[in-house]
Amino acid sequence: MFIDSARFSVSSGKGGQGCASFRREKFVVQGGPDGGDGGKGGDVYFVVDSNTDTLSFYKGKRVFKADKGQPGMGRQKTGKSGEHLILTVPPGTQIIDDDTNEVLYDLLEDGEKFLFIEGGKGGLGNVHFKNSRNQRPTYFQPGLPGITKNIRLELKLIADVGLVGYPNVGKSTLISVTSNATPEIANYEFTTLTPKLGVVNVGDYSSFVMADIPGIIDGASEGKGLGLEFLKHIERTKTLLFTIDVANHRTMIDQYNVLKEELFKFSQELSQRDFAIVLSKIDAYYGEDLQNDIEEFLKALNLETSKSNEYKFDTNLPYYVQDLIFTKKDSSKPYFVLPISSLTKLNLKPLGFALYKAIDLLPRTNAMIPHTKATIP
């Protein structure tokens, strides 16, 4: 089950109390104090593991606690330290303070290990309180309490390309034929109920990650549909790929405008992310003149049909791609507009190369929030 959010409290262990003890041996009638210190409470660590991709382990759980330290013992023996609590999360997990809504940590790299909460210190035994005026102290310290935090975990998938479009416009089919992803595919809306990731191979040694999320519909920002619930999963992407269905009852420009508007309502930053456009399902087009409809769509975006063909797009239909030979990339325009067919495989291979180039031109947008790393003892 895919779970991308969890809320619970986490506590480090309480330190063990010190010991009040006195030395008792043969021929030692009244030995001095020898009470040992209490053990340290267990720490709380987070570990990032790419072998997990969901927060389902935390579903239904409200409290996590590290073990407390054991009391000190006679003969100056220190109590055993409490076992550490190690919480494993997938890459892309944010740790948020549930009381203040502050993002505490943003975990991106596989294998990261860091100390989240330190356990309470063990109390001192009575051996530490012997002095010239009190040779037989009976005082010892209690252990320090652990620290409790109310936190929320939010998983945001890490991908290079995020697919955005209405339901049933061919996003899942596209990611299934271009990558190793195997999403459920059917001819009805909201077939995709959870985000899916797929690796798209471009050549023998190059690849990028594509993310598919449930479709966005009109009024999604007001709670309709499922799309906005999962838009956080494309917040880390370098570029967005708008999927416009040429066989949809909505016009191409209407689909594009609504998607842009709903993205803006969700996040102004996300709506300004670099993007490209694919015109899907051209094999199912039922209008009168597909070429003219594509040209009208380009015209509505103030774009002109391209003549250059760096990626070897099929030339039977109009397309657009930014010419970067003499100019810099314009982020306000799509990097390309390309008609495709997942059924006939039209332009799918050139699409992979074009997306890879688009990603290569961009820096990653989300920097990791710095935190202190620690090695688990």
In tens, the pLDDT along 197-215 reads 888 988 777 888 898 887 7
Place 300 in a pLDDT band, splitting at 50, 70 and 90: very high
Mean pLDDT across 363-369: 42
Q: Decide which of 199 and 369 is more confident.
A: 199
17 and 80 together in one domain: yes
151 and 167 together in one domain: no
Burial status of residue 265 (CB atoms within 10 A of its CB: 0-12, 13-18, 19 or more):
middle
Q: In sequence order, what DSSP letters do the residues of 258-324 get, joined into one string? A: HHHHHHHHH-HHHHTS-EEEEEE-GGG--SS-HHHHHHHHHHHTT-------TT---TTS--EE---
10 and 28 together in one domain: yes
Specify if 336 maps to a domain: yes
Give every CB contact of residue 316 below 8 A, 6+ residues apart in sequence: none
291 and 343 together in one domain: yes
CATH of the domain at 137: 2.70.210.12
Burial status of residue 235 (CB atoms within 10 A of its CB: 0-12, 13-18, 19 or more):
middle
Specify if 354 maps to a domain: yes
Least confident of 59-73, 106-120, 222-236, 356-370: 356-370
192 and 296 together in one domain: yes
pLDDT greater than 60 at residue 365: no
Q: In sequence order, what DSSP letters do the residues of 296-307 get, joined into one string? A: HHHHHTT-----
Q: What percent of the chain has pLDDT above 70?
A: 88
85 and 17 together in one domain: yes
143 and 165 together in one domain: no
Residue at which a domain ends, from 92, 127, 155: 155
Q: Is the overall model pTM greater than 0.85, yes or no? A: no
pLDDT of the residue at 191: 47
Least confident of 113-127, 181-195, 336-350: 181-195
Specify if 78 maps to a domain: yes
pLDDT of the residue at 364: 45
pLDDT in tens, 42-75: 999 999 998 888 898 998 899 999 999 999 999 9
Specify if 374 maps to a domain: no
150 and 170 together in one domain: no
Specify if 259 maps to a domain: yes
Residue 337: closest CA among 298, 373, 367: 298
Least confident of 203-207, 259-263, 279-283, 305-309: 203-207
User: Is the Cβ–Cβ distance between 144 and 120 less than 8 Å?
Assistant: yes
State the DSSP code for 179.
Answer: S
Specify if 376 maps to a domain: no
pLDDT greater than 60 at residue 366: no
Residue at which a domain ends, from 121, 155, 189: 155
Place 347 in a pLDDT band, splitting at 50, 70 and 90: very high
Q: In sequence order, what DSSP letters do the residues of 102-129 get, joined into one string? A: -EEEEE-STT-EEEEEPPPPPPPPGGGG
Residue 95: closest CA among 22, 7, 227: 7
3 and 58 together in one domain: yes
137 and 182 together in one domain: no
Question: CA angle 171-175-179, nearest 5°?
Answer: 175
Q: Is 106 left (phi over 0), alpha (psi -120 to 50) or beta?
A: beta
Specify if 373 maps to a domain: no
133 and 32 together in one domain: yes
What's the number of domains the chain is made of?
A: 2
Q: In sequence order, what DSSP letters do the residues of 131-175 get, joined into one string? A: -SS-SS----PPPPPP-EEEEEEEE----SEEEEE-TTSSHHHHH
User: Is the Cβ–Cβ distance between 325 and 312 less than 8 Å?
Assistant: no
Residue at which a domain ends, from 120, 136, 155: 155
pLDDT of the residue at 181: 65
CATH of the domain at 260: 3.40.50.300
Helix/strand/coil for 252? helix
User: Is the Cβ–Cβ distance between 248 and 255 less than 8 Å?
Assistant: yes
166 and 284 together in one domain: yes
pLDDT in tens, 221-268: 566 655 556 677 788 888 999 999 999 999 999 999 999 998 888 888
First to last CA, the chain: 32
- Boundaries of domain holding 93: 1-155
Specify if 377 maps to a domain: no
pLDDT of the residue at 328: 85
